[in-house]
Chain A
Amino acid sequence: MIEATFPLLGVAFVALVVLPAFALLAKVGLVMLERDEVGGPLHGLNLRYVLLSGSSVLPIAWLLSAGLHQAESGTSAHACLFDHETSELCLEPGFFSLVLAVFVVASSFGTMWRHRAARASSSDAAHALLRRLDRIASNDPVLASLRGRIVVTDDHGFALGTHGLLRPRVFVGTAFAGRVSDEMLASALGHEAQHVRALDPLRYLILRVALGVNPVGRALLEPHFARWQAAREAHCDREAVILGAAPLPLADAIVIAARPGAREPVALGARDTAVLKFRIGMLLAFSEQAPTRCCHQGLSTFPVAMVLLLVALLLPHHTGTAVLDLLHTSTERALTYFWR
């Protein structure tokens, strides 16, 4: 048995069996959470986020840590002794962790590429828009927090979005801004301010990467991700209105932002207006009756996610790595069986 067997076959087993199994468990949890009769998909956003991303991130973190732990401490020797008839220090689990890390990085590359920021512009139109945005932000205490965090772009087809992982910035397209009134722009910035406050670009990226490394499980979780993202956007609309954004101008801005420009390629399908209709419906309701905070969101996402990640990383050091040994011996035995 060559030493590359376990690192390569083990990672394939993780991608094709372990992660989809965790995705299935997460799906069961998500279905139960979304089953609430009234506003189900709007409840428990934070817990659903942890389930969606944790189903990939936590097993991978545990396996990476376990592999490194075995390589470092030599506790992998008995698995190697069994299969290779040698008691020398065995680095296979370390290589397994390395191949797993390479797999994660390679799988995430496409997502990272799509996450690149729009280009900031310095044209006259961009400067004029920046002055306009500065004036709008200075008249509103909520938007004041965005001063210095607004970037203008001439990128074709870009409307309005928040980008940046640890210090998010709001990108405003000049073409979009030219089609909306100050009131619409202020309300839309109020929506983006919620994304900035909650570090949503970081959340979205982690979630996209988590689904990207789990191609089989992604098919199970993609509908839940779509619902989570739709609910998150609706939540930001609600928070923006509660903090003073005008609902109808925000609804107008959303519809204008959704309209594709001439010759602009759009990948979404025929059902892509379902979320828009829901969000606009909610904003119309808010124009009749001011919204109050709704739907219990669960514990704050980042502290919970960090604690779980820390536990997954530390667990192999305290409770042993027998599961990794099982994975190690099983994959090599399976290969021996099929090779015969």
Chain B
Amino acid sequence: MDVVWGKNLTSFAVGDVLAILERQRDIAYTTVMTTVTRLYEKGILERERDGKRYLYSPKLTREEFLLSTAREVLDEAVGGHQAMAMLAEKVSEASAGELDDLEALIQKRREELA
């Protein structure tokens, strides 16, 4: 979905996603097709037949998707102990790797937009 949203693909075939992903790493057509089919089965993508293939399109924007999952994500929220409004609560050192991942994600988006 990151590829679909990031590249703003409004109508695409499995081959379109494969072409984008192949530029980043080796990946098999069947892997992409399985993933896309699962996303369709979960109701995140919709599809229509176009000759012998399917054309997929996202049912939700990234924001709508995040809002729809907000409940389960925020179920994991742990309250801060400061009685003041902080930009962000400090996380434990154990989570440093996750912060690196988030930074990489932001950087990737910046490069995509550039």
A40 and B79 form a contact (CB under 8 A): no
B62 interface residue per 8 A CB criterion: yes
Q: Cβ of A272 < 8 Å from any Cβ of B?
A: yes
Take A204-B85, A258-B90, A288-B5 as given contacts and tell me if A274 and B61 are in contact as well, using a CB distance cutoff of 8 Å.
no
Per a CB cutoff under 8 Å, which of B62, B78, B91 touches A288?
B62
Q: B94 on the interface (CB 8 Å rule)?
A: yes
Q: Are A162 and B84 in contact (CB under 8 A)?
A: yes
Complex CA–CA separation, A231 to B88 (angstroms): 13
Report the bound CA distance from A109 to B57 in whole Å. Answer: 55
Interface presence of A167 (CB below 8 A)? no
B88 touches A276 (CB 8 A): yes
User: Is the Cβ of A291 less than 8 Å from the Cβ of B63?
Assistant: yes
The interface size bin for chain B is 35 or more
Please pick, from A204, A270, A284, the residue contacting B92 in the complex, using a CB distance under 8 A. A270
Taking a contact as CB atoms under 8 Å apart, the answer to whether B92 and A268 are in contact is yes
A38 touches B67 (CB 8 A): yes
B93 located at the interface, meaning its Cβ lies under 8 Å from any Cβ of chain A in the complex: yes
Distance from B73 Cβ to chain A, minimum over Cβ atoms (Å): 5
A114 interface residue (CB < 8 Å to B): yes
CB of B11, distance to nearest CB on chain A (Å): 17
In whole Å, how far is B78's beta carbon from the nearest beta carbon of chain A? Answer: 6
**Contact present for A272 and B84 (CB under 8 Å):** no
Stretch at the interface among B12-20, B24-32, B102-110: B102-110
Chain A's interface: helix, strand, loop or mixed, by majority? Answer: helix
* CB of A133 closer than 8 Å to a CB of B: no
Partner of B78, one of A41, A161, A268: A268
Complex Cα–Cα for A157 and B83 (A): 16
| Residues from chain A with Cβ under 8 Å of B79 in the complex | 222, 225-226, 229
Chain A-chain B contacts (Cβ-Cβ < 8 Å), number: 191
Q: For A237, give the chain B residue with the smallest CB separation.
A: B87
Whether B81 lies near A114 (C-beta < 8 A) is yes
Q: Scoring A residues 209 to 230 as 1 if CB is less than 8 Å from chain B, else 0, what string do you get?
A: 1000000000000110111011
Dominant SS at the B interface?
helix
Nearest-CB residue, chain B, relative to A218: B79
Chain A stretch 239-289: residues in CB contact (< 8 A) with chain B: 248, 251-255, 257-260, 264, 266-282, 284-289
Q: Is the Cβ of A259 less than 8 Å from the Cβ of B74?
A: no
Q: Contacts of A259 on B, CB cut-off 8 Å?
A: 90-91, 96, 99
Min CB distance, A219 to chain B, in Å?
A: 12
Do A277 and B85 contact each other (CB < 8 Å), given the known contacts A38-B68, A268-B90, A291-B63?
Answer: no
B99: which A residues are within 8 A, CB to CB? 255, 258-259, 273, 276
Max chain A Cβ within 10 angstroms of own Cβ: one of B6, B87, B94? B87
CB pair A204 B102 closer than 8 Å: no
Given the complex of chains A and B, what is the CA–CA distance between A216 and B75 in angstroms? 21
Bound together, the chains give a CA A41 to CA B88 distance in angstroms of 18
Which residues of chain A are near B41, meaning CB under 8 Å? none
**Chain A positions 164-214 with a Cβ under 8 Å from a chain B Cβ:** 188, 191-192, 195, 200-201, 204-205, 208-209
Tell whether A278 pairs with B84 under 8 Å between CB atoms, given A38-B67, A248-B110: no
With A280-B102, A285-B66 given, is the CB distance from A257 to B86 under 8 Å? Answer: yes
Residue among A112, A115, A223, A273 with most chain B CB within 10 A: A273
Contact with B along A10-44 (1 / 0, CB 8 A): 00000000000000000000000010111111100
Complex: A20 Cα to B54 Cα, angstroms: 56
Is B76 part of the binding interface, using a Cβ–Cβ cutoff of 8 Å?
A: yes
Q: Please list the 3 inter-chain residue pairs (A to B) with the smallest Cβ-Cβ separation, ordered nearest first.
A: A274-B76, A226-B79, A39-B67
Instruction: List 11 interface pairs A-B (beta carbons < 8 Å), by A numbering.
Output: A161-B82, A201-B85, A204-B82, A230-B74, A257-B86, A260-B93, A270-B92, A273-B98, A275-B78, A287-B109, A288-B62
List A residues at the B interface (Cβ < 8 Å): 34, 36-42, 111-112, 114-115, 157, 159-163, 188, 191-192, 195, 200-201, 204-205, 208-209, 222-223, 225-227, 229-231, 233, 248, 251-255, 257-260, 264, 266-282, 284-289, 291, 294
Beyond the given A260-B90, A272-B95, please list 15 additional residue pairs across the A-B interface where CB-CB is below 8 A. A40-B71, A41-B70, A111-B83, A114-B82, A159-B87, A161-B82, A191-B87, A192-B85, A204-B83, A209-B83, A258-B99, A259-B90, A276-B102, A280-B102, A289-B63
